[in-house]
Amino acid sequence: MSEFDEKVVFLTPPVSLQQRYGNLAGAGSSMPALGVLTLAAAVRSKGFYPFVVEASALGLSYEDTIRIIAEISPSYVGISSTTLTIFQAARLARLMKELDPGITVILGGPHLTAVPQETMERFPQFDIGVIGEGEETTIELLNALAGNRDLSDVKGIVFRPSAYQSGCNPSPEPNRLAITPRREFIQHLDNYPFPAWDLLPEFPKAYKPPPFKVKNSPAVSIVTSRGCPYQCTFCDTSVFGNRFRAYSPEYIIAMIEELYHKYGIREFLIEDDTFLVSKKRAFHICESILKAGFKISWSCNSRVDLVDRDILKIMKKAGCWYIGFGIESGNQAILDLEKKDITLEQAQKAVKLTKEAGILAKGFFMVGHPRETQRSLQETIDFAKRSSLSDIAVTALTPLPGSQICSVADRYGAFDHDWRKMNLLNIVFVPSGLSRELLSRYRKRMLREFYLRPQIVRSYLNRIIRNPRLVLTVTKGAAAFFKTIFAAEE
């Protein structure tokens, strides 16, 4: 245990649903960020006093957030930020410094991990950045800060040496940054406590999942593994890496049991990049759910080349009703270029098997790939329509910092590097030979042609008939959908 009793706040910056989802705000998620909850639980286990402020999920303003921080009066504030929210995080950090210059502001998350030096140089209001997985680094960092020890011995951080020098002489290089060696990835995830849901006010009532992604309520997001072993060029794996590491089935079942009995959770959104990397482990989890007698429903994500009849059968029996597949394009050459390592035939088969098992299949697609053409865009629309998919999501390919494609995007078209615009809906990359307006039209066309078909409309009506409690959430999501597809062209 730590010998210190320092208060530390973990938070997400104030970002509205409109900023995150645009016209689809009505179908957006206000679920709590698991990253801040796992960090809070980890530091609490070592004697610190954590607080969680979910400014984004709760729709808090900057003023609300600063007021709460002032009431807590912490020594340290940790902000988790993506690329989309980095400017909001920076504004919040500046306001905190105005509130109390003595607060140490620590930044973590995928954006800082992907571009630590550029981020810290651009935003001097951040004192320290945590690179990669945060648990061990944050614990060691907080102990070093509380004990006034040398930060250069803490692995996995970027900091400003001038702010943490002993003595009174000013640094000759006040803006210099120091980056310590990267910390090794955590191998034994079971050693850490469950996320600190108890630190969330009004959990789970105040936190809402996307309306199209729930069958029951209350609902919660969970993660059962870290690291994606695949090499898709558009993904940023800088935080958790490419080595698959998983919580044990026993850990996951104990976590589900706590959420089920203590908080009344009946829907679980498994947010792993790919839940079925280990089918043996997935079988064990499903068997344990059945043995425990939990009356739950749940969803997950998978690659199309990992499903088969046996695993789908037991997943369905254990409560799985929805699987999201990253298909991305209906053009095989594009999939090959982006190292997706799947075939369209595998995608068709996976969706067909999922439907036969009685599980809904959602396809994730993007427009604006490198070497995209009007023909490939139409092929993607045609593929989605002839498949057995129940739902689709269509975003704009976004070369996020940390992804392989970010460093080469300029070779394939016009790339707007403005971090503010990178919400996966704004079109920041336009392949050569196309235009932003054309990509926008095709995205809306795909949504219209897929969803405004009798079989899809009937499927949603059937969902409501089977579960009338979904009327309000589905109606809200539908309103957001129509606002999007019938919005004026850019």
Q: What is the dihedral of CA 123, 127, 129, 135, to 10 degrees?
A: -150
pLDDT per position as a tens digit, 2-39 = 455 689 999 999 987 666 666 555 556 678 999 999 99
C-alpha angle 105/108/111, rounded to 5°? 125
pLDDT (tens place) for every residue of the chain, 490 residues total: 445 568 999 999 998 766 666 655 555 667 899 999 999 999 999 999 999 999 988 889 999 999 999 999 999 999 999 999 999 999 999 999 999 999 999 999 999 999 999 999 999 999 999 999 999 999 999 999 999 999 999 999 999 987 665 433 334 455 689 999 999 999 999 999 999 999 998 999 988 888 778 888 899 999 999 999 999 999 998 899 889 999 999 999 999 999 999 999 999 999 999 999 999 999 999 999 999 999 999 999 999 999 999 999 999 999 999 999 999 999 999 999 999 999 999 999 999 999 999 999 999 999 999 999 999 999 999 999 999 999 999 999 999 999 999 999 999 999 999 999 998 889 999 999 999 999 999 999 999 999 999 998 888 888 777 777 667 666 766 766 676 767 655 4
**Which runs of consecutive H residues, i.e. helices, occur in 293-331?**
309-317
Q: What does the alpha-carbon distance between residue 448 and residue 485 come to, in Å, rounded to a whole number?
A: 6
Q: What does the alpha-carbon distance between residue 123 and residue 465 come to, in Å, rounded to a whole number?
A: 51
- Pick from 140, 210, 483, 152: which is nearest to 362 by CA? 210
CB 463 within 8 A of CB 456: no
Task: Determine the residue type at 158.
Answer: V
Please name each of the domains of the chain with its CATH number: 7-179 (3.40.50.280), 209-485 (3.80.30.20)
Task: Determine the residue type at 488.
Answer: A
CB 301 within 8 A of CB 274: yes
- Pick from 298, 294, 295, 323: which is nearest to 308 by CA? 323
Which DSSP state fits 462? H
CB 266 within 8 A of CB 219: yes
Q: What is the rounded end-to-end Cα distance, in angstroms, of the chain? A: 56
Residues 6+ apart with CB under 8 A from 310: none
**Which runs of consecutive H residues, i.e. helices, occur in 299-343?**
309-317, 332-337
Residues 6+ apart with CB under 8 A from 324: 299, 300, 301, 302, 361, 362, 363, 364, 393
Backbone phi, then psi, for 107, in 5-degree steps? -105, 135
**Which runs of consecutive H residues, i.e. helices, occur in 204-330?**
249-262, 279-292, 309-317
Task: Determine the residue type at 66.
Answer: I
Burial 398-407 (b: 16+ CB within 10 A, else e): bbbbbbbbbe
- For strand 157-159 and strand 178-179, is the pairing parallel, antiparallel, or unpaired? antiparallel
Q: At what angle do helices 309-317 and 279-292 cross, to 10 degrees?
A: 30
CB 432 within 8 A of CB 366: no
State which H helix or E strand residue 20 sits in: helix 17-21
CB 408 within 8 A of CB 467: no
Residues 6+ apart with CB under 8 A from 328: 234, 334, 335, 338, 340, 364, 365, 366, 369
